[in-house]
Structures are given as structure tokens and as C-alpha cells.
Chains A and B, each alone.
Chain A
């Protein structure tokens, strides 16, 4: 289908550029590790404390990493007017949204896939449960779904980097709550049943905001 071919062309272009520079992944990864280290000093590493705050730490870290990497998503398009190049091409605005969203999703998932084991290693946690993987995936989809919309918006404002967190965090609070609660259960060996209602909320959030962002993206990028 032509829609997906063009979507993947846009995503592939982002992947290619990222493979060249490793700008987003390397910088955000270093940032992520630094945050984890700072948390270590803030809370200490006694098993009791870790058990209590691990899930919260994880999601504070991922939420900040998400904002940081989403902030970069459209910067590349602004240089040399590339975004206008996309606008004059025979692709719908929805294709642009989907392509950029998938790129950000991929980058963020890679960052998380690297950060999670390190997190587990440093805090002596068992993170490899299917529950946790599903939680991380669903929450990340929610992040990039609405984050791509706001990132495109923020890059067109005067204070670029400042704007995204202010818009992004209030909207994603529900899925951060869900991710923290569900991860807490998953890290202590909870079953699917314990987290099902959280997965439900996060899933609903994902679907709703992918659709809404898809529909109103055109209004953000028009001039």
C-alpha cells in the first residue's frame, strides 16, 4: 500500500540519519544513565528502598528520556527547510505524522531496551518479565503518540525545548501513573490479572491519542 510505503520511507530516512550521527540515542542514553545514578544517590540502594521506589524511578527516568528524544524529532526537519520538502511532496499530513511517530517510537524503545538491563544490573532487580515488557511498550506508544504531535508544535514556537515538557507531562500523567503502578506489580512478580486494569487504561490512552493526534496533526504543521 502506498500509505505505508511512504510512511516507512520517512521512518527509514530518520533511522538512516540516526545511524549516521547517533545523536538522539547516544545523548539520551547517557542522560538516562545519569538520572539512574543520581537516583541511586538520592535514595540509596538498600533492597527495601529499591523495592519501594524502583518503579517510580524507572518511569521518571523514561518520561524525561522521552521528552528529551521527542524534542529532537523535528529539529532535523527544520534545518534547510526539509519540512517544507515534505509538505510539497504528494504525501498526506497523516503520513508525515505516522512516519515521524514510528521513528520516535523505535528510538525510544531502543533506548529503553538498553537502559532496562542496566537499571536491573545496578539495582539488582529482575526486570525480565513479559508483563514489564508489555507495560514499557504500551506506555512508550502513548508517549510518542501524543509526543510527536506536541513535538511538531513545540518546534514551531519561540521557546522550543521549554514548550514540549509543559504540554507533554500533564497529558501523559494518566499513563505514567499506570506505568508506575503496573511496573511495581510486575517487578514484585505480580500476575497479568493484577495489572490488567492499568494495561486497559494505557491501551485506551494509546488508541485515543494516536487517533486524535493523527487527525489534528495537519493543523499543527500548516502555515
Chain B
């Protein structure tokens, strides 16, 4: 029942967000229509970090408590995180094309550090498949999850400094944002976060069933 409520909430938020993005919010003067992808790019970027935070917490709890549920949480969050990271990369380059004239702009610290993060996510899953048994793979993945998360701030810092820039300001401090744009961004952020939570719950439940089936099969 609760899940359906959440689903309804997510649906409503998403519709509102889409309405805001495509109809209500004014078009940005300099960048034009393409600027609207900003309202998808920022939430995906945020979810990239949120999902990795959950991977990090799940990994620590798994190593300390050795309960499979924590590994499942980390795994599922990582999986959804990988999808959103990929989306963030795609929206990022769609944004880059008309604005900078290239699909990939190495000079954008956010884009480059997202790419590094994507590789860390990939390592997180690859190390599982290379392990000789699932429990060992879970343990190794947890180690990668922890090391990878700790690495993120340093990656962001160094890619920023590489460009000769100062560390980027937080999203909400971005100056001169029209209040309507601000509201649209906030609604989008909430809508996508709720979507993420729903996906995570669904994935964890599914993964639990997968594990149960595996146990039944192996006896």
C-alpha cells in the first residue's frame, strides 16, 4: 500500500516537473531551448552522488555486520547509480554540444569527474564478476565501494584545479537564477529523488527474490 502511495506521489511530481520544464519555465535567454536539459542534468548528477553514498554506507555496514541485506542494498543502489551516472554523462554531452560546440568538453570538471565516477562504478561491478564466489565478490566490491566513494571529493577537486578553476559553487548558490527556474529545478530534484527511492525499493525486493531463488536452486 505504502509503495502505491509513493508511486502516486512520484507520478504526480514527475508530471508537475515535466510541465514546469517544458511549458511553464521561461526559456533562458543566452542558451535558448537547450538550457532546459539542465533540469534533467542536475538531478541525474545529484543521484549519481546519492546512490554512491548509499553504496558507501551499505559497503561499510556489510563489512562490519556481514549481513547480506547490506550488500544487496549497496549492489542495488550501485546498479541504479550506474544508470543515472550514464544518463548524467549523456545529458551532459547533449548540453555541451550546442553550448561549446563539442560533444565532450574535457574542460568541465563536473563532466570529467562524473566520467571517473562512472569508471569506479564499473570497477565495483566488474570485481564481483571476477571473484570466484559471490560472498567473496561482495566483500571485494564493498572495498571498492568504500575506496571509490572516499576518492570522489579528491577527483572533483583535482579535475577542477586542472582547469585552473576554483571549486564549483553549490547548485543552489548559482547566482542570477530566475525564481521560476529555481523552483523548477527544485521540483525536478525532488521528483527524481523520489523516483530513485522507488526504483531502489523495487530493485531490492527483486534482488531478494533472486537471492531466494538462488538458495533454493543450490539447496
Q: With contacts A153-B143, A212-B147 known, is A167 near B127, CB below 8 A?
A: yes
Pair B142/A219 contact, Cβ less than 8 Å: yes
Chain B, interface size: which category?
Answer: 20 to 34
Asked whether any CB of chain B lies closer than 8 Å to the CB of A209, the reply is: yes
Residue of A153, A156, A174, A220 near B157 (CB, 8 A) is: A174
Complex interface: chain A residues within 8 A of B142 (CB):
219
Asked whether any CB of chain B lies closer than 8 Å to the CB of A198, the reply is: yes
Pair A174/B139 contact, Cβ less than 8 Å: no
Complex interface: chain B residues within 8 A of A156 (CB):
131-132, 136, 140
Asked whether any CB of chain B lies closer than 8 Å to the CB of A149, the reply is: yes
Complex interface: chain A residues within 8 A of B126 (CB):
163, 166
Residue of A174, A198, A204, A220 near B143 (CB, 8 A) is: A220
**Min CB gap B89→A, angstroms:** 14
Asked whether any CB of chain A lies closer than 8 Å to the CB of B159, the reply is: yes
Q: With contacts A153-B127, A219-B63 known, is A174 near B146, CB below 8 A?
A: no
Complex interface: chain B residues within 8 A of A174 (CB):
151, 154-155, 157-159
Work out how many contacts link A and B, with CB atoms closer than 8 A: 86
Among A177, A197, A198, the one with the most B-chain Cβ atoms within 10 Å of its Cβ is A177
Complex interface: chain B residues within 8 A of A209 (CB):
147, 150
Pair B161/A201 contact, Cβ less than 8 Å: yes
- Inter-chain CA distance A204–B158, complex, in Å, is 11
Quick one: CB contact mask for B151-174 with A, threshold 8 Å, 1 for yes? 100110111011000000000000
Complex interface: chain A residues within 8 A of B81 (CB):
none
Residue of A nearest to B132 (CB): A158
Pair A162/B130 contact, Cβ less than 8 Å: yes
Asked whether any CB of chain B lies closer than 8 Å to the CB of A53, the reply is: no
Q: With contacts A197-B161, A219-B139 known, is A170 near B154, CB below 8 A?
A: no
Pair B63/A216 contact, Cβ less than 8 Å: yes
Q: With contacts A157-B132, A216-B143, A216-B146 known, is A170 near B119, CB below 8 A?
A: yes
Residue of A nearest to B155 (CB): A174
Residue of B63, B131, B151, B161 near A157 (CB, 8 A) is: B131
Residue of A170, A181, A213 near B162 (CB, 8 A) is: A181
Complex interface: chain B residues within 8 A of A169 (CB):
119
Complex interface: chain A residues within 8 A of B123 (CB):
166-167, 170
Asked whether any CB of chain A lies closer than 8 Å to the CB of B200, the reply is: no
Pair B140/A157 contact, Cβ less than 8 Å: yes
Q: Count A-side interface residues using an 8 Å CB cutoff.
A: 33
Quick one: CB contact mask for B70-83 with A, threshold 8 Å, 1 for yes? 00000000000000
Q: Which A188-223 residues sit within 8 Å CB-CB of chain B?
A: 197-198, 201, 204-205, 208-209, 212-213, 216, 219-220, 222
- Inter-chain CA distance A146–B90, complex, in Å, is 30
- Inter-chain CA distance A177–B143, complex, in Å, is 24
Complex interface: chain A residues within 8 A of B154 (CB):
174, 201, 204-205, 208
Complex interface: chain B residues within 8 A of A170 (CB):
116, 119-120, 122-123, 148, 151
Complex interface: chain B residues within 8 A of A158 (CB):
130-132
Residue of B nearest to A198 (CB): B161
Asked whether any CB of chain A lies closer than 8 Å to the CB of B144, the reply is: yes
Residue of B147, B157, B162 near A171 (CB, 8 A) is: B147
Q: Which A160-186 residues sit within 8 Å CB-CB of chain B?
A: 162-163, 166-167, 169-171, 173-175, 177-178, 181
Q: A156-B132, A170-B116 are known contacts; what are 16 more A-B pairs with Cβ within 8 Å? A: A149-B143, A156-B131, A157-B130, A157-B132, A157-B140, A166-B126, A166-B127, A170-B123, A170-B148, A171-B147, A173-B155, A201-B161, A205-B154, A216-B63, A216-B143, A220-B140
Return 28 A-B CB contacts under 8 Å, by A number.
A149-B147, A157-B130, A157-B132, A158-B130, A158-B132, A166-B122, A167-B127, A170-B116, A170-B151, A171-B120, A171-B147, A171-B151, A173-B116, A173-B155, A173-B158, A174-B159, A175-B158, A177-B158, A177-B159, A197-B161, A209-B150, A212-B150, A213-B147, A216-B63, A216-B143, A216-B147, A219-B139, A220-B143
